[in-house]
């Protein structure tokens, strides 16, 4: 049996992790879903390139699907309890991946890593480097993504996606964590603001 067959025959594991955002849950998979970047769908219409995302949207209460590397972050309607749908979503993802179906039916519209952006100034390159080293690993472990958007007149704008988008604690994290770090390591950053992806 060759290496590809061995990998294909391994059972797929999927487990759920809580995130700081009570409306999102992170589903970690024992399979790479997306080799680079991430995708975020805020409606069924946006998800036409991903049969798996369409399948997840078909369940009542799912409002957003975020896919990157080896996890999927799902956002549910406010007022709905994860207890009602957690195990169903985990099983849907596991069964889909166990059938070796494609996560994407065509090349996905990937949101690329901000480090790949061209023509960054020296200051912007430093910001991206600090994000990569200090911020992104923690944000990804919470089921989200954070990227550089712009830096102008001392204001650093970051884009939040996945579990971070709409998270009640993201403002506190942004101001007391990220802004404090940047002011210490890069005093020309006077303020950090965010926008949803």
CATH code (residue 124): 3.30.300.130
Which of 70, 98, 126 is a domain's end point? 98
**pLDDT at 8 (0 to 100):** 60
Whether residue 160 is found in the same domain as residue 192? yes
- Helix/strand/coil (H/E/C) assignment for every residue in 177-197: HHHHHHHHHCCCCCEEEEEEC
Is 103 part of a structural domain of the chain?
Answer: no
Lowest-pLDDT choice from 73-87, 117-131, 164-178: 164-178
Same domain, yes or no: 21 and 91: yes
Handedness of CA 101, 114, 182, 125 (dihedral sign): positive
Q: What proportion of the chain, given as a percentage, has pLDDT over 90?
A: 46
Mean pLDDT of the chain: 86
Q: Indicate if 130 and 177 belong to the same structural domain.
A: yes
In this structure, the answer to whether residues 8 and 87 fall within a common structural domain is yes
The whole-number pLDDT of residue 116 equals 55
- Per-residue pLDDT band at 20 (split at 50, 70, 90): confident
pLDDT tens string 157-188: 988 888 777 776 776 677 778 888 888 999 99
In a domain, 107, yes or no: no
Read off the pLDDT of residues 84-111 as tens digits, 9 standing for 90 and up: 899 999 999 999 999 989 999 998 887 7
One domain for residues 65 and 136: no
Do 45 and 73 have their domain in common?
yes
| Per-residue pLDDT at 179 | 87
40 and 122 fall within a common domain: no
Q: List the alpha helices (DSSP H) in 58-101.
A: 82-98
Residue 28 in domain: yes
Q: Residue 78 belongs to what domain range?
A: 3-98
Q: Phi first, then psi: give them for residue 192, nearest 5 degrees.
A: -120, 125
**Region for residue 61 given its phi and psi (left: phi exceeds 0; alpha: psi -120 to 50; beta: otherwise):** left
More confident residue, 141 or 23: 23
pLDDT given for residue 139 in this prediction: 83
CA–CA separation, 52 and 101 (whole Å): 8
Lowest-pLDDT range of 134-143, 144-153, 165-174: 165-174
Predicted local confidence at residue 164, as pLDDT:
76
Asked whether the predicted pLDDT for residue 68 surpasses 60, the reply is yes
Residue 37 has a pLDDT of 83
Domain C-terminal end among 67, 98, 129 = 98
Instruction: Give all strands (DSSP E) within 97-139, no chain letters.
Output: none
Residue 187, in any domain of the structure: yes
Element (DSSP H or E) covering residue 6: helix 3-9
Structural domains of the chain, count:
2
Please tell me whether residues 52 and 118 are part of one structural domain. no
Query: Which CA distances in Å does 118 have to 38, 46, 124, 129, 191?
Result: 18, 27, 11, 14, 24
Q: What is the average pLDDT across 69-92?
A: 92
Arithmetic mean of pLDDT, 46-63: 95
């Amino acid at each position: 049996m060759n290496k590809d067959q061995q990998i294909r025959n391994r059972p797929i594991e999927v487990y759920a992790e809580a995130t700081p955002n009570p409306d999102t849950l992170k589903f970690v998979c024992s399979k790479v879903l997306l080799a680079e970047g991430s995708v975020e769908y805020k409606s069924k219409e946006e998800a036409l390139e991903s049969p798996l995302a369409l399948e997840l949207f078909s369940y009542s209460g799912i409002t957003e699907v975020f896919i990157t590397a080896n996890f999927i972050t799902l956002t549910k309607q406010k007022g709905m309890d994860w207890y009602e749908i957690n195990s169903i979503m985990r099983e849907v993802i596991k069964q889909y991946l166990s059938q070796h179906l494609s996560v994407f039916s065509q090349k996905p519209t990937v949101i690329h890593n901000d480090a790949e952006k061209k023509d960054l100034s020296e200051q912007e390159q430093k910001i991206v480097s600090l994000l990569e080293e200090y911020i992104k690993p923690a944000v990804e472990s919470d089921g989200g993504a954070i990227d550089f958007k712009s830096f102008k007149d001392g204001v650093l704008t970051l884009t939040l996606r996945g579990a971070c988008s709409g998270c009640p604690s993201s403002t506190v994290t942004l101001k007391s964590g990220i802004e404090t770090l940047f002011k210490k390591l890069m005093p020309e950053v006077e303020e950090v603001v965010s926008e949803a992806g």
